[in-house]
Amino acid sequence: MNQWQKRSRPIRLERRFEFETYSETRDFLDRLGEHTEAAKRFPDISFGRTYVNITLRPEDEEEEVELNDDDYKFAAEIDGLLN
Amino acid sequence: MNQWQKRSRPIRLERRFEFETYSETRDFLDRLGEHTEAAKRFPDISFGRTYVNITLRPEDEEEEVELNDDDYKFAAEIDGLLN
According to the model, what pLDDT value does residue A2 have?
A: 55
- pLDDT reported for residue B9: 87
B74 occurs within a structural domain: no
* Cβ atoms A70, A76 nearer than 8 A: no
Residues of chain B with pLDDT under 70: 1-2, 63-64
Q: How many domains does chain B have?
A: 1
State the Cα–Cα distance between residues B31 and B49, nearest whole angstrom. 16
Residue B41, domain member (yes or no): yes
Torsions phi, psi for A41 (to 5 deg)? -135, 125
pLDDT < 50 positions in chain A: 1
Owning domain of residue A10: 5-80
What span, in angstroms and rounded, lies between the C-alpha atoms of A52 and B47?
11
What CATH number does residue A63 fall under?
3.30.1360.20
pLDDT tens for A49-68 read 999 999 999 987 776 688 99
Select the residue of B22, B26, B48 nearest A44 (Cβ to Cβ). Answer: B48
pLDDT tens digits for B11-23?
A: 999 999 999 999 9
- Give the best residue of A21, A28, A45, A55 to mutate against chain B (max B CB count within 10 A): A45
B79 in any annotated domain = no
| CA-based max dimension of chain A | 39
Quote ipTM for the complex. Answer: 0.90
| B7 phi, psi to nearest 5 deg | -130, 160
The burial class, CB within 10 Å (0-12 / 13-18 / 19+), for A66 is: exposed
Residue B1 forms part of a structural domain: no
**B49, part of any domain:** yes
The pLDDT, as a whole number, for residue B1 is: 44
Contacts of A77 (CB under 8 A, 6+ apart): A35, A39
Percent of chain A with pLDDT over 70: 94
B42·A22 Cβ contact <8 A: yes
- In chain A, what residues touch B21 (CB-CB under 8 Å)? none
Quote the pLDDT of residue A51: 97
